[in-house]
Structure 1
Amino acid sequence: MTGDIPAEITVALGRLEVGDAAGAFDDLRAVLAREPENADVLHALARTAHQVGRYDAAVAYAGKAVRFSSTTDRASAALHVTLGLSLLALGHAEPARAALHVATLAAPDEASPRLALAQALEALGRMDEAMETLRDVIRMRPAEAGFRLVYGRLLERWGKGDAALMAYEDAVTLAVAGDVVTRQHKAELLRRLGRAEEAEQTFAEVRERLPDDPAALANHGAALFDVGRMGEAAEALEASAIASPNSAETQTNLGLVRMACGDLSGADAAFLRASALRPDDPLIALNRGTLLGELGDRDAARGLFASVITARPDGRDAARAWFNLGTLDLAEGRFRDGWRNFEARLAFMPPLPGTELSRWDGRPQAGRVLLTAEQGLGDFIQFLRFVPATLERAPVHLQAPPTMIALLERGVSAPNWARSRESGRLTISADAHDGEASSAHASVLSLPFLLDAGRPPPFLPYLGTGWKDGRNCSVMKIGVCSAGNSSYRFDRRRSIGWEELADLLAIGNVEWRSLQPGACPPNVVPLPEGDMAQTAAIVGELDLVITVDTAIAHLAGAMGKPVWLLNRYGGDWRWAAGSWAKDESGEQRNLWYPSLRMFQQVEPALPERAWRTPVRAVADALRAELRLRGARD
């Protein structure tokens, strides 16, 4: 033997560490030419081959090293780890497991052979053994945060999210104060588990430790978006985009935040930048198409949605594109096409109760059909009008939001509703599985498609009976709802602060009532606590409802009450041109709620500016109405 072989191996592996794989190979092959049966040199070559992804060569070198090795200690364990991991990379899980088992026997007090063995066991689907092997590692090194992190990642991959979170929390406790890796994994898992508030707090901890890091800023910005803190989200994402302008994901999230804040032109700029960085990304195309639809460029939106369907005809992206096309169809009054495409939402929405049952196909049947609520309360109220037609075809169990139960039981005036309730053909509950078993299921929002409904049927008020008509009173009673559910990510665009309605609320000869929970101005009567039946009773005493696009608009409209809708720019498909038609007098009426009058934002500006015109128009219209009342009196 010539030369200092251990030193030469150290030099070669040093080259590998700095990225000079070719130099490492040359040095080690030169040593191997002198010492062709040296197990240490062969192992070093195997390690080098493995690190650069030449797993077949790594297995060949490691196999020779095993033949020539005479040790049974840690050196042998390390050699078998290299052999096992290389076999595993080639897909040979069982031979890999065998090699790694030998490694654990050679070094029973070492963690690395067991960590590698757990990987092989996982690849073989032997989950219990893999988890127990990692628990052995944790028992051997209870103070090591990294091992708990590895254990948590295994649990997460196998769908054990809650257990994985406990492992991550232990890892965070054990980690050094400046650690970000364990916190990052914990935050990402919390986000996937739907625990948005906790995820935001953990992403904030990562950002605190890496205040200028673009990824930390972007992740925290996305988490702030999830919890509805749009201003802070925009600030974080803007900072990330400046630090790392070529991140398509950051630009996409920035576009979504700007869109939620009402900065539609800024949102389009971000989406265009994201698209330039990643032109084939379907999510970017879907988001920009949605924005263009809001901006009124429906042809361009259709083109983007069609491109997603062409590129990826199957899967969730295509389903979202078909759904978005459906909303465009509905907005333009192509109802049959719209209802068909609207059904694509079922492929990506969370599963509804009753999905273990067969889906109802709309045909008459003797078995009971479970109809389930879906999406918002306003959607449920709007689509209730299709339940009587469903009752003509099948008995129904209507699963409804708890706040609607009392109103549905005693406040519905739709055809055949009371008769069906009395006969038991219609049952109502918040529980999908109450009462007689159902044989099929459908979402209430699917009824127009299943009933082949086309455009909405002629309107008759279907919620509430015998409400007061106060048009002959000298003081108008007006209910106001200025805000929707703040958890809705685009609520900032559809809601209005009470302060922005100050001029409207200063108009005299009006008794103002709030139709939303929470604090209100001193001259507005607060909404008492209660369900929708109690809210409907209040609405029934009013002369007029003024509201943004919330369930209150649907409630008042379904009752046939005069309702003035303050609608954001773009707005929802049900308020678009396709849902309006002239009545016998030549007046444009909404097909869903003929008593509704719309006051629309006229420009895609930030909310504080965009609301000025429609709010001023409502105030002018109210003064005109009060003058007419005064003239009649």
Structure 2
Amino acid sequence: MDKATSAQPGAALAIARHMARLRNFRTASQILSRVDLDELGLIDQCFAGITLLSAQDGLLADQLLAPRLAALEDRAHGRAEAARLGEWIQLSGLRTTDKLHALGRLMAPLSGPQANGSTIRGLRFREFRLRQGALEKVDVLEYFQGDEEDPFQWKDNLRYVGDLVTHGHAETARTLLERQIARHGFRDRAVVEASLRFDSGSLVQDLQVIPEAFHGIPGVLALAHDLRSHGPAHEDFFDACQAAARKGYGAMDVYSKDSLLRVLTVKDLLSDLDTLVPHLSGLPDTMLGARCGHGLIAMVEGSNRDAAELLRSVLVEDPNYTIAATGLRFVQARLDDGVTVIDLRNQIGYGSASAGRPGIRLGDRDQATTLLLQGHYLKSWSVRRTGPHWRTLKRDLGSRFLNYEALPEDPGSSLFLIADDGVGDEIRTAQYLGELAERYRVTASCDPRLLTLLERSFPSVEFIGVPRRVRGVLNPVYDGRYSDFLLASHLTAACDPYVAAADHVTFGQNLTFNRFAGVLPREDTGAYLVPDLAREVATPGDRLKVGLVWKSHFSSGSRRMMYLGVEQFEPLLGVDGVDFWSVQHTIDPAESAYCVEHGIRQIEDVDLFDDFEGLAGHLASMDLIIGISTVPMELAAAVGTPAWLLGFSPENYYYRTGGGATSIDQLSRNSTVVAPPWIDFTAPYQDCVDLVMADCRDRLVRLVRASRPGRGE
């Protein structure tokens, strides 16, 4: 920055380009503030405008753009100029209609030999993205084909592969890729990466054909990471990419190093990052990937103030670095400085995602989760109505669709309920189905694993099984109906007749919104799901039967801070008069061995992941379940088994207690949040776990004494 202050305009511009390439947009923007931007050529002005939009100076960027747009027809634009100006227009703070008009004016003069060139295709793709972002009903094939006789010949059309798939044109995407593979083979990195993204990499039947020179490239490593669970060959490929990245790191330039470190933060490969960059000493502050990585490592280690300082410094420079924002949200919940991520967003915005404007974005995850931590349930749910999937249904269904809105007073009308979010959320939402069925004729989608359980529990409701998840992973069906990932997962073609016939359409989380709005009643206790008597499990004799669950199916990254290891239950295991059972639905061999060694029984006659009827029978036979919020915990509470949710993290505690106002779980029935009211979340993670486990042990001893006279300590 000091060099830039005293540098000549040309040198200052070069330094700003360097900083922007490293995504240090705030610093680059500050350097540009010392340059007379009006005197720059068009290419340099485009760079300046895009950089300002990527920081917090979007208003200045739009002011700089205005005269360029006013004189758009006054000069011919070269290909590079048109391409960069198109990017500036797309990212600007103009209204979408004005952006589209400007792009149309920019494309109009591009005729003759340029008409089918890469520039016009790039601008056409920007128009497609703008219309799609505005939730217009667009035909991706129209943009992919354009005026081309053979759009499959152009490698730059690989940018459409993902959109072709989500709009129901997977075979067109396959043809495009096959043509490009035939032309370039796998010696072209763009073809390799596009092929790995498509259909879980099915077009790359032999991963050994991918040149070793590509293995250490950050984008290829990221894709290898995502595909590693597909089989031994994919695991070997990921290992090879990891090894190549580690080996090649020292010879990389600073831009490639930072790009690699960013991938390692996003993919939760922090041990790899720590190996490559064991400390920040000697590294320039401009390497945000390293700073973010060490911020996340500090978070995991419980050094929350260090983590906050590092992650804040990253976000101030690059407000669009999402993993840094996620980490900071977790860290701020563990500090006592009264500052939230919302406060920071109000200062820095989201970079290019908010057109360089400071301020919180309505419905952003930062906002919704911070409001939950503060106990502002109604507002936390209401701001989520900005989600593009629900806005799409609002566009299509109009007033029939209730998007975080009050349920209507319309007795006897028909209502279709979309099962959304995770299966645990679906189970929890089912507590309102009885009341809903008294008001409306209800049809509801559900996870097929819950179908018979729900039909038995709510005989007046018609249920439709929608297999939107496979082993916990969303499984969208892109058949051309919805290009949105969530709608394609939750609202399959089988639902269409019911949606068309319903007087009202809504979704599970809107029932929770209506509970906090006072439209639906809330009951703290009482079973609402009825297990199958044929799957009934015998209840114990004079000993308490207690289930333990310690993690979700998804337990990577910062989510681990809300979960436990099975060994952390050890303080409870010595309580006399209790038989402990694992009800953990995803358990690895080491955890299973621990259970055997420490006398924690395991359910062996039921697939705890797929057989919810069998799991419900076991849970109903238990006196208590202890652990964290996940499917077994929610299902136990639903069948009437008391649940103790361990509040060792701010998320587990504040989310469920109205910001600490009560120990009664505000989301699930039959659930109590266990934690001393004086718990201090600024303490290290393990200290909080130890405190909560001690409290839980005391409660369990008292429960044994009350339930089994003569037992307990």
TM interval, shorter chain, is 0.5 to 0.7
Give 1:210's match in structure 2, choosing from 248, 253, 259: 248
Q: CA deviation at 1:513?
A: 1.0
Show the counterpart of 1:506.
574
**Which range is displaced more, 371-380 or 212-221?**
212-221
The aligned runs of 1:47-446 (5 Å cut-off) are 87-91=78-82, 125-126=146-147, 129=150, 131-132=152-153, 148-149=188-189, 162=198, 173=209, 177-178=212-213, 183-187=217-221, 204=242, 206-212=244-250, 213=252, 219=259, 222-224=262-264, 228=268, 230-232=270-272, 234-236=274-276, 238=278, 243-256=283-296, 258-259=298-299, 262-275=302-315, 277-278=317-318, 288-295=328-335, 300-307=340-347, 318-319=360-361, 322-344=364-386, 346-347=387-388, 360-361=401-402, 362-363=407-408, 368-410=414-456, 412=457, 417-418=458-459, 420-421=460-461, 426-430=462-466, 432=491, 433-434=493-494, 436-439=497-500, 441-446=505-510
Show the counterpart of 2:665.
590
SS at match of 1:546: strand
Q: 1:315-365, CA deviations, whole angstroms, 9 ceiling, x for partnerless residues?
A: 999546654434343444433323312434x24x79999996556223356
Q: Is the 8 A contact 2:451 2:463 kept in 1?
A: no
CA distance in 1: counterparts of 2:511 and 2:445, whole angstroms: 14
Residues 590 and 97 of structure 1: is their aligned pair in 2 closer, same or farther, counting only changes over 3 Å?
closer
Show the counterpart of 1:535.
615
Q: Is the 8 A contact 1:285 1:305 kept in 2?
A: no
Alignment of 1:569 with 2:649, yes or no, is yes
CA distance in 2: counterparts of 1:263 and 1:352, whole angstroms: 42
Q: Is the 8 A contact 2:650 2:681 kept in 1?
A: no
Q: Is the 8 A contact 1:514 1:527 kept in 2?
A: yes
CA distance in 2: counterparts of 1:501 and 1:164, whole angstroms: 38
Show the counterpart of 2:563.
495
Q: Is the 8 A contact 1:207 1:216 kept in 2?
A: no
Q: CA deviation at 1:276?
A: 5.4
CA distance in 1: counterparts of 2:686 and 2:323, whole angstroms: 29
Residues 228 and 272 of structure 1: is their aligned pair in 2 closer, same or farther, counting only changes over 3 Å?
closer
Q: CA deviation at 1:526?
A: 0.9
Residues 379 and 234 of structure 1: is their aligned pair in 2 closer, same or farther, counting only changes over 3 Å?
farther
What is the count of residue pairs matched by the alignment? 518
SS at match of 2:632: helix
Alignment of 1:458 with 2:523, yes or no, is yes
Residues 311 and 211 of structure 1: is their aligned pair in 2 closer, same or farther, counting only changes over 3 Å?
closer
CA distance in 2: counterparts of 1:616 and 1:564, whole angstroms: 13
Q: 1:260-293, CA deviations, whole angstroms, 9 ceiling, x for partnerless residues?
A: 5654334213213324545798985675345323
Show the counterpart of 1:43.
none
Q: Is the 8 A contact 2:342 2:360 kept in 1?
A: no
Residues 452 and 493 of structure 1: is their aligned pair in 2 closer, same or farther, counting only changes over 3 Å?
closer
CA distance in 2: counterparts of 1:453 and 1:141, whole angstroms: 56
SS at match of 1:478: strand
**Which range is displaced more, 380-389 or 202-211?**
202-211
Alignment of 1:449 with 2:470, yes or no, is no
Q: CA deviation at 1:546?
A: 1.4
Show the counterpart of 1:545.
625
SS at match of 2:291: helix
Amino acid at match of 2:433: V
Residues 163 and 630 of structure 1: is their aligned pair in 2 closer, same or farther, counting only changes over 3 Å?
closer
SS at match of 1:437: helix
Q: CA RMSD in A?
A: 5.3
CA distance in 1: counterparts of 2:445 and 2:638, whole angstroms: 19
Q: Is the 8 A contact 2:319 2:350 kept in 1?
A: no
Show the counterpart of 1:620.
698
Residues 122 and 202 of structure 1: is their aligned pair in 2 closer, same or farther, counting only changes over 3 Å?
farther
Residues 251 and 580 of structure 1: is their aligned pair in 2 closer, same or farther, counting only changes over 3 Å?
closer
Q: CA deviation at 1:191?
A: 7.6
Q: CA deviation at 1:444?
A: 0.6
Show the counterpart of 2:552.
484
TM-score with structure 2 setting the length:
0.58
CA distance in 2: counterparts of 1:90 and 1:382, whole angstroms: 54
Q: 1:444-480, CA deviations, whole angstroms, 9 ceiling, x for partnerless residues?
A: 1122335773497133424345999999953111111
Q: Is the 8 A contact 1:470 1:543 kept in 2?
A: no
Q: Is the 8 A contact 1:146 1:171 kept in 2?
A: no
Q: CA deviation at 1:543?
A: 1.5
Q: Is the 8 A contact 2:645 2:673 kept in 1?
A: yes
* Structure number, greater radius of gyration: 1
Show the counterpart of 2:95.
none
User: What percentage of residue pairs aligned between the two structures are identical?
Assistant: 15
Show the counterpart of 1:5.
none
Amino acid at match of 2:425: D
**Which range is displaced more, 227-236 or 517-526?**
227-236
Residues 441 and 502 of structure 1: is their aligned pair in 2 closer, same or farther, counting only changes over 3 Å?
same
Q: CA deviation at 1:239?
A: 5.4
SS at match of 1:496: coil
Show the counterpart of 1:578.
658
Amino acid at match of 2:420: E
TM-score with structure 1 setting the length:
0.64
SS at match of 1:370: strand
Residues 280 and 303 of structure 1: is their aligned pair in 2 closer, same or farther, counting only changes over 3 Å?
same
CA distance in 1: counterparts of 2:45 and 2:637, whole angstroms: 69
Q: Is the 8 A contact 1:481 1:516 kept in 2?
A: yes
Residues 602 and 556 of structure 1: is their aligned pair in 2 closer, same or farther, counting only changes over 3 Å?
farther
CA distance in 1: counterparts of 2:119 and 2:557, whole angstroms: 40
Q: CA deviation at 1:408?
A: 1.6
Residues 614 and 52 of structure 1: is their aligned pair in 2 closer, same or farther, counting only changes over 3 Å?
closer
Q: Is the 8 A contact 2:582 2:602 kept in 1?
A: yes
Unaligned runs of 5+ in 1: 1-18, 20-49, 56-84, 102-115, 583-587
Amino acid at match of 1:273: S
Show the counterpart of 1:611.
689
Q: 1:536-593, CA deviations, whole angstroms, 9 ceiling, x for partnerless residues?
A: 21121112211123233323333342222223321247645417767xxxxx533343
Q: CA deviation at 1:96?
A: 7.7
CA distance in 2: counterparts of 1:546 and 1:297, whole angstroms: 32
Residues 228 and 581 of structure 1: is their aligned pair in 2 closer, same or farther, counting only changes over 3 Å?
same
Show the counterpart of 1:46.
none
Amino acid at match of 1:340: S
Amino acid at match of 2:665: N
Residues 130 and 450 of structure 1: is their aligned pair in 2 closer, same or farther, counting only changes over 3 Å?
same
Q: Is the 8 A contact 1:203 1:219 kept in 2?
A: no
Residues 264 and 597 of structure 1: is their aligned pair in 2 closer, same or farther, counting only changes over 3 Å?
same
**Which range is displaced more, 378-387 or 241-250?**
241-250
CA distance in 2: counterparts of 1:462 and 1:542, whole angstroms: 14
**Which range is displaced more, 249-258 or 196-205?**
196-205
Amino acid at match of 1:427: F
Q: Is the 8 A contact 1:579 1:591 kept in 2?
A: no
Q: 1:504-524, CA deviations, whole angstroms, 9 ceiling, x for partnerless residues?
A: 223333222111133252212
Amino acid at match of 2:551: A
SS at match of 2:658: helix
